[in-house]
Amino acid sequence: MTQYHKLIIGYTVFINCFAYVLMCYDKWQSNKKGQRVPERRLILVASLLGAVGVYAGMKSPLYHKAAKPKFKIGVPLLIGVNAACIYIIFKFS
C-alpha cells in the first residue's frame, strides 16, 4: 500500500467522521431552533466521499433527514458512487 492509498483512506475516514458530526450538529440546532446547516452543504459533503457519514447520521440514534426523498434516495446512491470512485482510485493508481 502506497502513501497515496494511505492518504485516500485517511481522507475518507476524516470526511465521514466530519459528515456524521455535521449531521449531529444540524440535529442539535434543529432541536434548539438555531441556525441550521443547509441541505445543499450536507449533500456536498456526502458527494465528497462522506456519504457513509451522512447515512450514519440519518440512522439511529439521530434519524435526521431520513424522511426527505433527497436524502432517503440520494445518499444511498452517493454511497455507491463514492465506493466506485474509491475503487477506481485504488485500481488505477
Note down the domain range covering 16: 3-91
pTM exceeds 0.85 = yes
When pLDDT is cut at 50, 70 and 90, the band that residue 1 belongs to is confident
Q: What is the spatial distance between Cα 88 and Cα 29, in angstroms, rounded to a whole number?
A: 37
- Residue 61 reports pLDDT greater than 90: no
Alpha-carbon distance of 73 to 20, in angstroms, equals 18
Tally of domains in the chain: 1
- What number is the average pLDDT over the span 29-41? 96
Within 8 A by CB and 6+ apart from 52, the residues are 16, 19, 79, 82
Find the mean pLDDT for residues 14-18.
98
Are 12 and 86 contacting, i.e. CB atoms less than 8 angstroms apart?
yes
